[in-house]
A and B are shown apart, each in its own frame.
Chain A
Amino acid sequence: AQSVTQLGSHVSVSEGALVLLRCNYSSSVPPYLFWYVQYPNQGLQLLLKYTTGATLVKGINGFEAEFKKSETSFHLTKPSAHMSDAAEYFCAVRDTGTASKLTFGTGTRLQVTL
């Protein structure tokens, strides 16, 4: 069975500082990997995804993530945090099979301070 571990339920950074949100997965086969963002009282919005090809993927709002198979990781980064980045971030994994379900991590709440 697949699983996702997000280290740190809460992360606080200063505006302009580096954002690093950690995600490790467990899967018997190389999976597809996703990061979703949830703003207060809103649904889940896709930030970025890794399926095949280049292991460094770029998403919306300046975020990027790198798939490292040897470390079974898919950490999310952004060079310079903005106040508008404050939200809940979820890492998710799914099988590469057609239309498989997503398995989510427990989420990391990002706080951005002045």
Chain B
Amino acid sequence: EPEVTQTPSHQVTQMGQEVILRCVPISNHLYFYWYRQILGQKVEFLVSFYNNEISEKSEIFDDQFSVERPDGSNFTLKIRSTKLEDSAMYFCASIPSTDTQYFGPGTRLTVL
């Protein structure tokens, strides 16, 4: 069964550094999402992406964040200058058109 994959599984970085989190959505899916989960808290929506542009973003998704689909398979989340509060699990999700979102296993980001 096709799966959403994410790399790396764990990223440790210093405050102020740039990080890129990578996702490979399921191949025939059209809509892509990033969510995050701070330890012990609920999963929060960050951004959705369709047809090579952002379709919706949350208040969390400020100028420090950007998303890109650089080729036909990858979907990336970049954080330009990481803060301590960016430490979280980041989940990528995708859907074919409507209905169920399929989630990847997540990338745990630790900012020191």
The chain A residues found within 8 Å of chain B, CB to CB, are 32, 34, 36, 42-46, 49, 51, 90, 92, 98-107
Contacts and interface: CB of A to CB of B under 8 A. Distances in A.
A99 B45 contact: no
Interface string B67-101: 00000000000000000000000010101011111
A46 B45 CA distance: 17
Contacts of B45: 101-103
Nearest to A90: B43
B106 interface: yes
Given A34-B100, A49-B100, A90-B43, A43 B48 contact: no
Contacts, number: 53
Interface string B45-71: 100101000011010000000000000
Contact of B91 (A32, A43, A49): A43
B101 A102 contact: yes
Given A43-B103, A102-B101, A106-B42, 7 more contacts: A43-B105, A43-B106, A46-B100, A49-B99, A99-B50, A102-B45, A103-B45
5 closest pairs, A vs B, by CB?
Answer: A43-B105, A99-B31, A44-B103, A101-B45, A104-B43
A20 B102 CA distance: 25
A106 B99 CA distance: 22
A43 B50 CA distance: 23
B41 A99 contact: no
A43 B106 CA distance: 6
B104 to A, nearest CB: 6
Contacts of A45: 103
Contact of B98 (A34, A99, A101, A106): A99
Nearest to B101: A102
A36 B102 CA distance: 10
B44 interface: yes
Nearest to A51: B99
A32 B48 CA distance: 18
A90 B99 CA distance: 17
12 contacts: A42-B105, A43-B91, A43-B103, A51-B99, A90-B42, A90-B43, A100-B56, A102-B33, A102-B45, A104-B43, A106-B42, A107-B43
